[in-house]
Amino acid sequence: MNFRSEAYTTILKVLKDKEYSDTLLHQRAKKLKNAGEDPALFYNLVKGVIKLYLKLDYILQQYVDKKKYTDTDIKIKVLLYMGLYQLLYLNSIPDYAAVNETVELAKTLFNPQVADFVNAVLRNYLRNPEVSYPNEPALRIAYEHSFPPELIKQWLDLWGEENTEYLAMFFNENPELHIRVNSTATTPEKLKAYFAKRNIVITPSQASPMMFHTAQTAEVLEDVAFSEGYFSVQDTSAALIVELLDPQKEESVLDLFAAPGGKCSYIAERMDNTGEVIAVDKIPSKMKLLKQAANRLQLTNIKMVVTDAFKYGPVAPAFHRVLVDVPCSGWGVFGRKSDLRWQAHQNIPELIKLQEKALDYAANFVTPGGFLVYSTCTMNPKENEDQISAFLKKNRNFELIPADAFIPERYTSAGYLKTIPFKHNMDGAFAAKLQRRK
């Protein structure tokens, strides 16, 4: 077993069969680790090639006869992507090793002719690695940073060339690990001291006293403090959404689109294991993850209901706080979810309808004087500000509560929680806090 052959079959599954799952990746990485291989290289190669395959493809076309490249099977293209990715991004691997190992893999998987082809293309690149990109901004950014051109066009219209490029670049970097302290088990100071004793540096977040970030991902995840429930892995932007919701002890809280439950477990922690959090989601396998997290964190105030949110009832204004964390285009999490940029742009109109319906439905559960938080992990105004404006126009009994009363002002804009990945060094998220009048 070696990390390149495992990476090859994984990448092919994603690019050819459009199948991606973090679980599959983790299982394979674990297998490699047990066989004495470095899982970090496996993760880097798989996630990197999936994110950057459009760029790799664009470059490779410049080193092969056009017709021959068009006729080349995806099974062979994946080998070329892997070889070129190592040459461009894996500095720990010398160029000769990147080429030789890819050629050897081509021999094992195919035959000497394919191996010769792979060798010739990669060496062609090495002889003259100058690549030229189109002048037109949308195409240049799309190929240089590997995003669908139609998505880049939308971003350019929204934010202009400079910000679009910052965003695209940010999502191609290796994201740091963000962790959240379990306040029912320990304190931020104790957790920091615990890791310091083990020579692991975790840096306090500027955004939240309960959050840290670290570049020592593997060491932190493998530490027993994780399995013992002293912390969770969560992007800081997601934690801020719960801080905006601001759940209090002994309250009743409804989390209508709850799984896999990162926000739900934080709600339960902030309520210090009191009151009741009802977590609703329709996907049983994702709810299982919430159940595991609740057990690990020893949270006893979460009640899980596996059902379609729109069938959850009785529909009555019975909750102090309702979180409606809707399915969205996911633009804000393109850094962590390597395959998402290749699918997310397709179904936005449908998502917008679902979000509108979810917000309307969730509002029915808020008690007079209670709060409703609508959130997404996207920076798309049509899924964010536009949804809230339309809702407030229809529902005069709700009003916007400014977010900067709950989270640092730097992460807010026009009363909303709004995180900008390259500016705040976290995922992109949006949330609005609405109060139902008494």
Ligand X SMILES: C[S@@+](CC[C@H](N)C(=O)[O-])C[C@H]1O[C@@H](n2cnc3c(N)ncnc32)[C@H](O)[C@@H]1O
- CA–CA distance, 251 with 254 (Å, rounded to integer): 10
Q: Is 430 helix (H, G, I), strand (E, B) or coil?
A: strand
Compute the least distance from the CB of residue 372 to ligand X, in Å.
14
Closest to ligand X by CB, 39 or 421 = 421
Q: Name the phi and psi angles at 216, rounded to 5.
A: -90, 60
Determine whether 300 is exposed, middle or buried from the number of CB atoms within 10 Å of its CB (0-12, 13-18, 19+).
exposed
Closest to ligand X by CB, 52 or 259 = 259
- CA–CA distance, 52 with 423 (Å, rounded to integer): 22
Query: How many other C-beta atoms can be found within 10 angstroms of the C-beta atom of residue 24?
Result: 14
Closest to ligand X by CB, 39 or 330 = 330
- CA–CA distance, 53 with 89 (Å, rounded to integer): 13
Q: Is 3 helix (H, G, I), strand (E, B) or coil?
A: helix
Here the tokens at position 279 are 């977590």
Compute the least distance from the CB of residue 145 to ligand X, in Å.
25
Compute the least distance from the CB of residue 307 to ligand X, in Å.
7
Answer yes or no: is 325 a known binding residue: yes
Query: CB within 8 A of 292, min separation 6: which ones?
Result: none
Bridge-based pairing state of the strands 319-325 and 366-376: parallel
- CA–CA distance, 24 with 187 (Å, rounded to integer): 33
Here the tokens at position 430 are 């949006």
Closest to ligand X by CB, 16 or 357 = 357
Closest to ligand X by CB, 238 or 278 = 238
Answer yes or no: is 223 a known binding residue: no
Query: How many other C-beta atoms can be found within 10 angstroms of the C-beta atom of residue 347?
Result: 12
Binding site for ligand X (CB under 6 A): 238, 257-263, 281-283, 286, 308-310, 325, 327
Compute the least distance from the CB of residue 280 to ligand X, in Å.
6
Find residue 321's DSSP bridge partners.
253, 371
- How large is the angle between the packed helices 74-89 and 3-17, nearest 10 degrees? 120
CB 144 within 8 A of CB 102: no
Q: What is the DSSP string of 238-254?
A: HHHHHHHH---TT-EEE
Compute the least distance from the CB of residue 339 to ligand X, in Å.
16
Closest to ligand X by CB, 262 or 275 = 262
Answer yes or no: is 360 a known binding residue: no
Q: What is the DSSP string of 53-121?
A: HHHHHHHHHTTS-HHHHHHS-HHHHHHHHHHHHHHHH-TTS-HHHHHHHHHHHHHHHS-HHHHHHHHHH
Query: CB within 8 A of 342, min separation 6: which ones?
Result: 50, 148
Closest to ligand X by CB, 144 or 339 = 339
Residues that are catalytic: 377
Compute the least distance from the CB of residue 257 to ligand X, in Å.
4
Compute the least distance from the CB of residue 313 to ligand X, in Å.
13
Binding positions for S-adenosyl-L-methionine: 281, 308, 325
Binding positions: 281, 308, 325
